Chain A
Amino acid sequence: MSRISALLRSHRAPRIAGAAGLALGLLGASLPAAAQQPDVTEIVERANEAAYYAGDDGRAQARMRIVDAQGRTQTRQFTILRRDRSDGGDQDFLVAFSRPSEYRGVIFLVEKHPGGDDDRWLYLPDQDLKRRIAPGDKRTSFVGSHVFYEDVSGRHLQDDRHELVRTTEEHYVVRSVPKAGADAEFASYTTWIDRETYLPMTTEYKDESGEVYRRMESSNIQTVDGHPTPLRMRVEDESMGGYTEVQFRGQEYDLGIPADVFSDRSLRNPPRQWLSR
C-alpha cells in the first residue's frame, strides 16, 4: 500500500497525510535535510515528496495482513507498478493481485491527476468485469483493509491547515486540521516527520472528542537505490476495530516501465513481464 501511495504522490499537488504514513513505499527522500529550521509549508511539502515521490517509476510486492477486532486475519498479496507521467505531475498505478488465489488476476488501475479527480478501474477476472470506480469519497477501505483509498492516492495538502506543533530531536510534529467543507471523518491529525529523511513516521487521527482513533506507522526504513523507503507499515483503526500490516519486498526504482503497461488493455492481459522480477 505504501507503495501505492508512494507511487501516487506528485510534486505538483503536494500531499501529505495519512498518505504520508502509507507513502512509505517506492519513493525516498530526494532532498537532504535542511540545515536550518524550515517553515511548516516546506516541511509538509518535503514530507509529501519523500513519501510519494522517488525515481521515475517503481515496482514492489506488497503483502497485507488484515486483522479484525477478534484477531481473525485476511491476507492480500499484490504487486504495484508505478510510473510518473511527468515529474511531479500525473502518475499511473497498476495493482495486480496474486493471492489468495480467488483474487488472482484482480487488477486495480489508477490514473492519478493531481488537482482533479483520479481515474480508477477495477477488473474482476472471474466474470470478466472491467469497471470504472466512481470518483467520490476516497476515505473508503482499500480491499477490506484499514488502509483507505485516500491513503493510497494521497490527500491534498491544501485540504487541511497545517501547523508545526513542535520540533523534537528526531521529528517535526505537524498538526493538520481539515478546512471547512473538506470531507473527512476526523477532526485533526498529527504527523511525526523524520527530520533526516522527511518521511512521515507516525500519523494519528483524532475524532471530535479529541481521542486518537486511527494510527499509521512506518518502520523498517531501508535505503533502496538511494531512496529511504519504509518496508513496513501498520494502520490501526479503532472505529473499524483491528489493524492492517503491510510488508513491502523487492522494491526497485527506475525500471523503465513503458506507458502502455498502464493502459486498460493490461486489465485483461496483465503485463506479466513487469509484474514478476
Chain B
Amino acid sequence: MGGRLAQWCIDRRRWVFAAILLMVAVLGAMIPQIRIDTDPENMLPDDQPARVLHENIEKQFTLHDRIVVGQVNAEDPQGVFNPESLADHYRLTRAIEEIDGVIERDLLSMAAVDNVEQAAPGTIDYDWLIPGPPETQQAADRIRAAVERLPMYSGTLASEDGTAAGILVPLESKDVSHRVANEIRAAAQRIGVEDELYITGQPVAQDTFGVQMFQQMGISAPLAGLVIFLVMLYFFRSVPLVLAPMLLAMATVISTMGLLIGTGFTVHIMSSMIPIFLMPIAVVASVHVLSSFADRYRPGGDARAVMAGVMEQLYKPVLFTALTTAVGFASLMFTPIPPVQVFGGFISFGVLIALILTLTFIPAYAGSLPRKTLDKMAQRVRQDQDAEHSSRLCAALEAGGQWAGRRRNWIVGTLVALSVVAVYGINQIQINDNPTRWFKAGHPIRVADQVLNERFAGTYEAYLRLRQTGIGEMGEQLRERAGAITAEAQEAGYAELGERWQRLWREHVDGDRPLGTRLESLAVAISDRLFTLSDPDRAAYWERLLDAVEQTRTETRAFQDPEKLAWIAGLERHLVENGHIGKATSLADLVKTINRELISGDAADYRLPDTPGGVAQALLSFQSSHRPHDLWRFVTPDYTAANVWMQLPSGDNQDMQRVVEAVDAYVAENPPPEGVELDWAGATYINLVWQGEMVEGMLLALLSAFVVVLVMMIGLFRSLALGLLAMAPLTVTIAFIYGVMGLVGKNYDMPVAVLSSLSIGLSVDFAIHFIQRTRSALAETGEWRSALVQVLREPACAITRNALVIAVGFLPLLAAPLVPYITVGTFLASIMALSAVITLLALPAIIAYRPGLFFAEVRRGAGQS
C-alpha cells in the first residue's frame, strides 16, 4: 500500500508539488488576518456561568479592567508627600485622563477624587483631594493627613507608609493596555516625573504577554527550525536529505496556522506555540523515511523502486506514530477550555497534514532529485554511519541495551523506585497559576507587581456581590395589601378606585425595570393623582395606597439597611484581620466615612447611621460631590445589590482559593441577612475558575489519551502485553517528570497541564519503533536475544536521533522571556530525552524478563525446545 502510493506520487510528482504549493499558498494567505487574544477570561467559554456572572457583575457596578500605576519615592522622608512628587502626580493623572481608551470618569487617583471633611465644626466640605499642584510642604502634609482619613483610598491610592501614590486606570478594553501603559510611561517622561514609576495590573500583564508572544512566534519558531536543521545536518551530513523535512515542516506549519486563522480563531497563548510543536513532529517521520531511503539506495540504483520498498516497510510505523501523536493532541478537545481545544485540534490537524506529506511529498521529492545528488546523498549517509561520532553513539546504545538486558532486575527495580518517587511527588503538586508569573522574575511587570504589592493593599482584585432575593415577592405582597385597601374603598362607595389603581399598576409596575424604580414611578403617579382630588375621603384611600407603595419601595432598597451594611463590615473586618486579603472596600466604609464627617469628624463617629433613612441621606450628601457616580461601584441605583471590592496582594489562584474558603467559613458561622445571596466576580476569581476546570479537564484528557493510545497499541501489535509494554516507558517518564515537578515546587499551571496528555502521543513513538523493529528482527532471527541485539544497533540509533531532534528542537524556547514558553521547552525536551532513554533501557530489560509473554515466536521457540 505504502509502496504503491509512493510510486504513484513519484510518477505524478509535478502534480503533488503543485497541489502542496496551492494548499500552502491558499492557507498561508490567511495568516495576515491574525488576531491575538491574551485574555485569560477566554480560557472559559463565553457562556460559562461563572464568566457570564462575572461580566454581569462588572457591568452592574461599572467595574473595568484596570492598569495600576505606582509612583514611588522611597528617598524623600515624606515619601511621595512632597510638593514636587504630588505636583508630578497631579500632572500625570491629568495626562493619563487624556489617553485614548482610558475611562476618565472612573479613573482613581488622589488627584482625581474628592476629599470629604469637616472644614469647620458643623461644616461639611467635598472638594478635590488634590485641587492643583501643591506648592508647599504644608499643602502636601494636608493631603497626606486627608487621605489617611479616607479608608476608601488609603492603602489603595496612597500607600500607608507614604512612599507610593497609585493611579487605577480603567480601560475601555483590555487589548489597549499595552499601548496605554506605554503612553503612560511617555507622559511621565514628558512631565519629568522623577519618582520611580511602576505599571502593573492584569490587563497590562496580559496585553504585554500578547505582544511578546507575537514576537516569540517570530523568533522561537524559526529558531527551532534552524536548530532542527543544524542537528539533522550534523546527523545526516546531506543538505538535500535534510532540506525535504524542513520544507515539509514549513508547509505543515503554514497550512495549519493559515487554517486556524482563516477559520476565524484567535491566536491564544497556547495556539501561538503550535508552530513550535509542529516543527519537530513534522520533521521526524520524514527523517525516518529519508534516512532509510539513503541507507538502501545504491549509486546508480532505481530511486523509484527503492522508495517504494522503504515506504512499504515504514508505512505502518509512520502511520501509527502520527496517529498516536494526533490522538494525544486531540484529547485536549476534552478540556472545557476553548483555547486549549483549539490548540489540540489544530495540532492534530497539523500532524495529519505532516503524515500525508510524509507519504506523498517525500517520495515525490526523492523521485525528483537528480541522480548525481542521490548518489552523493547515499554516499554521505553511508560514510556518516561509519564515521566515528555516529558509531560511538550507536556503540554506546548497543552496550547500554545489552547491559540493561543483563541487569534487568536493576532496571526494573529502578523503574519501580522512580514510580514510587513519582507518586509521592505528584501528591505534592501545587495547582496554581498567576498570569503575572508568566513573565520572568526580572521582567518590569514582575518587578512592578512586587514593588506595588509590598506598598499597597494589593493590585489584584476580586469582587463579592451581595444580592437581595425575594424582591418579586415584595411586589406581590404589595398587591395584596393594596387589594385590601381598594376593597375597603369599594365598600365605602369609591368603586372606581380599584380600577384606577389597577390601571396605574399596569402602566407603572409591569415591566422589567427594577421593582423599586417602578414603584417610585407608581408613587409619583399617585401623588400626581392626589393633586387633582378634592374629596378628602377619596384622597385618604389614595394616601394609604401611596404609603403602602412607598413602604414596599423602601423595603426593596435592601442595602440602605444599616444591619446589612454592618454584616458586610463584619465580613470585611474578618478577612482583613486574618490576613486573607489586603483590603476590602464597600458601601459600609463609604457610609461610615461620610457619616463621620457629617457628624463630628471624630473617629468615634466612624459608624453606620441607625436607620435606612440615615444611610440614604448620608449618601445623598455624598452624591453632591464631584464624583457621585462612584457610589454605583458599591451598590446598584436600586440598592438591591452591593459589591465588596477586595484587594489581594497576590494573584495566585491558591491565594484566591483561600479567600473564597475564608468567606465560605465566615458565612457558615455568620449567616448573611435573610435573602441575601453571595456571588464572586473579578479577574483573580475568574482565573481560579478556569484553573479548576482545567485540572479536571486535563485529567479527562490525560486518561482518554492514555486509553486511546493503549487501544491503538494493542491493535497495532495485536497483543495486550505488547500494548502495555509500549505504554510503560512513557508512563514512567511522565509520572516521574510530574513527580519531580511536585518535589521541586513547580506549580501545576496552564502550560504544564496541557503538556501532560499531548506528551503521551509524542513519546509513545519510540516504543512503537522499538517494538515494531524487534518483531521484524525476531521474524528474521527467531531468537529474542539476537533480535534485541539487532534492534539495539541501527533502529536504536535512529530512535535516539529522533529523540534528540525533537528535544533539541524545543530548546530555543528556553531563551524566551515568557515563562510558559520556557516551561514547555524544558518539559518537552526532558520528556523526549527521558522517554527515549527509558525506552532503550527498560524495553530490553522487561523483554528479557519474560520474553515469552511478549512474543509468540519466543513461546513457540520455547515449546519446540
Pick from A103, A133, A208 the residue with the most CB of B within 10 Å: A133
Chain B 104-136 near chain A by CB (<8 Å), digits 1 or 0: 110000000010000110111111100100000
Q: Are A141 and B624 in contact (CB under 8 A)?
A: yes
Which A residue's beta carbon lies closest to that of B629?
A: A240
Chain A 141-163 near chain B by CB (<8 Å), digits 1 or 0: 11110000100000000000000
Q: A133-B123, A134-B119, A239-B105 are in contact. Are A141 and B626 (CB under 8 A)?
A: yes
Q: Are A126 and B614 in contact (CB under 8 A)?
A: yes
Query: Which residues of B, 505-524, contact A by the 8 Å Cβ criterion?
Result: 513-514, 517, 520-521, 523-524
B613 interface residue (CB < 8 Å to A): yes
Chain B 622-650 near chain A by CB (<8 Å), digits 1 or 0: 01111011011000111000000000000
A63 interface residue (CB < 8 Å to B): yes
B557 interface residue (CB < 8 Å to A): yes
A275 interface residue (CB < 8 Å to B): no
B48 interface residue (CB < 8 Å to A): no
Q: Are B599 and A144 in contact (CB under 8 A)?
A: no
Q: Are B524 and A241 in contact (CB under 8 A)?
A: no
Which B residue's beta carbon lies closest to that of A149?
A: B624
Q: Are B598 and A99 in contact (CB under 8 A)?
A: no
Number of chain B residues close to chain A: CB under 8 A: 54
Query: Which residues of B, 523-579, contact A by the 8 Å Cβ criterion?
Result: 523-524, 527, 550, 553-554, 557, 560
Determine the chain A residues whose CB is within 8 A of the CB of B613 once the complex forms: 102, 125-126
B621 interface residue (CB < 8 Å to A): yes
A86 interface residue (CB < 8 Å to B): no
Smallest CB–CB gap between A125 and chain B, Å?
Answer: 7
Determine the chain B residues whose CB is within 8 A of the CB of A136 once the complex forms: 119, 125-127
> CA A240 – CA B104 in complex, angstroms?
9
Pick from A106, A130, A139 the residue with the most CB of B within 10 Å: A106
Smallest CB–CB gap between B646 and chain A, Å?
Answer: 23
Q: Are A70 and B524 in contact (CB under 8 A)?
A: no
Chain B 147-170 near chain A by CB (<8 Å), digits 1 or 0: 000000000000000000000000
A132 interface residue (CB < 8 Å to B): yes
Contact of A73 among B517, B553, B598, B610 (CB under 8 A): B517
Q: Are B550 and A68 in contact (CB under 8 A)?
A: no
Q: Are B623 and A143 in contact (CB under 8 A)?
A: yes
Q: Are B128 and A137 in contact (CB under 8 A)?
A: yes
Determine the chain A residues whose CB is within 8 A of the CB of B524 once the complex forms: 63, 75, 77, 99
B852 interface residue (CB < 8 Å to A): no
> CA A149 – CA B614 in complex, angstroms?
23
Which B residue's beta carbon lies closest to that of A75?
A: B520
Determine the chain B residues whose CB is within 8 A of the CB of A149 once the complex forms: 624
Q: A100-B550, A127-B614, A129-B599 are in contact. Are A144 and B520 (CB under 8 A)?
A: no
Determine the chain A residues whose CB is within 8 A of the CB of B621 once the complex forms: 122, 124, 131
B189 interface residue (CB < 8 Å to A): no
Chain B 598-624 near chain A by CB (<8 Å), digits 1 or 0: 110000000001111110111011011
Contact of A134 among B125, B609, B626, B637 (CB under 8 A): B125
B12 interface residue (CB < 8 Å to A): no
Smallest CB–CB gap between A78 and chain B, Å?
Answer: 11
Smallest CB–CB gap between B702 and chain A, Å?
Answer: 44
Query: Which residues of A, 107-142, contact B by the 8 Å Cβ criterion?
Result: 122, 124-127, 129-134, 136-137, 139-142
Smallest CB–CB gap between A207 and chain B, Å?
Answer: 9
Q: Are B609 and A127 in contact (CB under 8 A)?
A: yes
> CA A140 – CA B114 in complex, angstroms?
10
A101 interface residue (CB < 8 Å to B): yes
Q: Are A126 and B611 in contact (CB under 8 A)?
A: yes
A166 interface residue (CB < 8 Å to B): no
Query: How many cross-chain pairs have Cβ atoms below 8 Å apart between A and B?
Result: 131
Contact of A102 among B119, B557, B638 (CB under 8 A): B557
> CA A132 – CA B598 in complex, angstroms?
10
Q: Are B624 and A241 in contact (CB under 8 A)?
A: no
Smallest CB–CB gap between B725 and chain A, Å?
Answer: 64
Contact of A137 among B127, B553, B610, B618 (CB under 8 A): B127
Determine the chain B residues whose CB is within 8 A of the CB of A70 once the complex forms: 59, 62
Q: Are B636 and A72 in contact (CB under 8 A)?
A: yes
Query: Which residues of A, 190-241, contact B by the 8 Å Cβ criterion?
Result: 208-209, 239-241
Q: A72-B636, A141-B626, A143-B624 are in contact. Are A131 and B554 (CB under 8 A)?
A: no
Smallest CB–CB gap between A35 and chain B, Å?
Answer: 43
A167 interface residue (CB < 8 Å to B): no
Determine the chain A residues whose CB is within 8 A of the CB of B527 once the complex forms: 77, 99
Smallest CB–CB gap between B826 and chain A, Å?
Answer: 48
Determine the chain A residues whose CB is within 8 A of the CB of B624 once the complex forms: 133, 140-144, 149
Contact of A132 among B124, B520, B614 (CB under 8 A): B124
Q: Are B123 and A102 in contact (CB under 8 A)?
A: no
> CA A126 – CA B610 in complex, angstroms?
9
Contact of B124 among A69, A103, A133, A137 (CB under 8 A): A133
A74 interface residue (CB < 8 Å to B): yes
Smallest CB–CB gap between A48 and chain B, Å?
Answer: 24
Smallest CB–CB gap between A2 and chain B, Å?
Answer: 18
Q: Are B122 and A131 in contact (CB under 8 A)?
A: yes
Query: Which residues of A, 67-101, contact B by the 8 Å Cβ criterion?
Result: 68-70, 72-75, 77, 99-101
Determine the chain B residues whose CB is within 8 A of the CB of A131 once the complex forms: 122-124, 598, 621
Q: A68-B629, A101-B554 are in contact. Are A124 and B126 (CB under 8 A)?
A: no
Determine the chain B residues whose CB is within 8 A of the CB of A142 once the complex forms: 624
Smallest CB–CB gap between A56 and chain B, Å?
Answer: 26
Query: Which residues of A, 151-194, contact B by the 8 Å Cβ criterion?
Result: none
> CA A82 – CA B651 in complex, angstroms?
57
Determine the chain A residues whose CB is within 8 A of the CB of B104 once the complex forms: 239
Determine the chain B residues whose CB is within 8 A of the CB of A144 once the complex forms: 620, 623-624, 628, 631
Q: Are A137 and B557 in contact (CB under 8 A)?
A: no
Smallest CB–CB gap between B624 and chain A, Å?
Answer: 6
**5 pairs of A and B residues whose beta carbons are closest in the complex:** A144-B623, A134-B125, A102-B616, A126-B613, A134-B119
Q: List 14 A-B contacts (CB under 8 A).
A: A75-B524, A77-B524, A100-B550, A101-B553, A102-B554, A102-B617, A126-B613, A132-B124, A133-B124, A141-B625, A143-B624, A144-B623, A144-B624, A241-B105
Task: Supply 19 further A-B pairs (C-beta < 8 A) apart from A102-B616, A141-B625.
Answer: A69-B62, A73-B517, A73-B637, A74-B637, A75-B520, A77-B524, A99-B527, A100-B523, A126-B609, A126-B613, A126-B616, A126-B617, A132-B120, A132-B122, A136-B127, A137-B128, A144-B628, A239-B105, A241-B105
